[in-house]
């Protein structure tokens, strides 16, 4: 395979969002669900979350990113995409793992919403107690 046609695939997860990420050598275009990153994410913070792995590894603008993401909200999706980009970068160059690991991007954030239990209004909240 030549460097032009080579691509790396990884899956990232965060909360209930799942992102399938393809990394290809290119000019730094990020496409999420067939839309440019600027159209998909309105807030600048979410765009910064996506770029963190590239800034740490000093590979910003060297790869085109194609993403299919579903589930969750925008913040969870941004976290899932970041996780997927991190995994794809590690697949491309295993030496980048130490830098990404130190920043805490390799580990999947396993925190998810706690389920509502029966006999109460929410996961932890109880109905108001009435003495009389």
Quick one: average pLDDT of 21-48? 95
Which pTM value belongs to this model? Answer: 0.89
Please count the residues of the chain: 132
Tell whether the model's pLDDT for residue 2 goes beyond 60: no
Evaluate the CA torsion angle 120, 125, 127, 130 in order and state its sign.
positive
What fold characterizes domain 8-102? Answer: Ribosomal Protein S5; domain 2 (3.30.230)
Q: How many C-beta atoms surround the C-beta of residue 129 within 10 A?
A: 5
What is the C-alpha separation between 67 and 19, in angstroms, rounded?
7
Tell whether the model's pLDDT for residue 10 goes beyond 70: yes
Could you read off the pLDDT of 80-125 as tens digits, one per residue? 999 999 999 999 999 999 999 999 999 999 999 999 999 999 999 9
What is the predicted pLDDT for the residue at 4? 55
The residues spanned by each domain of the chain are 8-102
The H or E element containing residue 12 is strand 8-14
What is the C-alpha separation between 103 and 125, in angstroms, rounded?
35
């Amino acid at each position: 395979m030549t460097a032009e046609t080579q691509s790396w695939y990884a899956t990232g997860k965060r909360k209930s969002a799942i992102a399938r990420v393809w990394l290809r050598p290119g000019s730094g275009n990020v496409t999420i669900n067939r839309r440019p990153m600027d159209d998909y994410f309105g807030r600048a913070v979410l765009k910064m979350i996506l770029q963190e792995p590239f800034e740490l590894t000093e590979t910003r603008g060297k790869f085109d990113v194609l993403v299919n993401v579903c589930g969750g909200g925008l913040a969870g999706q941004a976290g899932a995409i970041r996780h997927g980009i991190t995994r794809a970068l590690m697949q491309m160059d295993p030496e980048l793992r130490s830098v990404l690991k130190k920043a805490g991007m390799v580990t999947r954030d396993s925190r998810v919403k706690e389920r509502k239990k029966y006999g109460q209004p929410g996961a932890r909240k109880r109905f108001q107690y009435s003495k009389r």
